[in-house]
């Protein structure tokens, strides 16, 4: 089965193989275990740790923030 996901936690939890693309090119092709934070930054084009927060792709339910 082939699915297009932008939720990294879901991909890591359910996929045996992950292919990451950027600009129409394959940047990563490997297992969920091999999809490290460094690889994710490379896929998304961010060398600076502060530029990419992986939690923004999460499907985890977060508690509501009080108004």
Tell me whether residue 14 is in a domain. Answer: yes
Beta strands in the chain (DSSP E): 18-22, 25-30
More confident residue, 34 or 1: 34
pLDDT digits (tens, 9 = 90+) for 15-62: 999 999 989 999 999 999 999 888 888 888 765 555 666 666 777 666
- Report CA-CA distances (Å) from 47 to 12, 56, 66: 21, 17, 33
Q: Is residue 60 part of a domain?
A: no
Encoding tokens for residue 33? 């275990």
Domain that holds residue 35: 8-49
* Residue 3, in any domain of the structure: no
Q: Is residue 34 part of a domain?
A: yes
More reliable by pLDDT, 6 or 51: 6
CA distance 64 to 13: 24
Number of domains present in the structure of the chain: 1
Strand partners of residue 29: 19
């Amino acid at each position: 089965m082939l699915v297009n996901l932008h939720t990294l936690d879901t991909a890591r939890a359910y996929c045996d193989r992950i292919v990451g693309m950027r600009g129409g090119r394959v940047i990563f092709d490997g297992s969920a275990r091999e999809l490290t934070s460094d690889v994710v930054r490379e896929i998304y084009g961010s060398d600076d740790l502060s530029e990419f927060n992986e939690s923004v792709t999460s499907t985890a339910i977060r508690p509501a923030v009080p108004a």
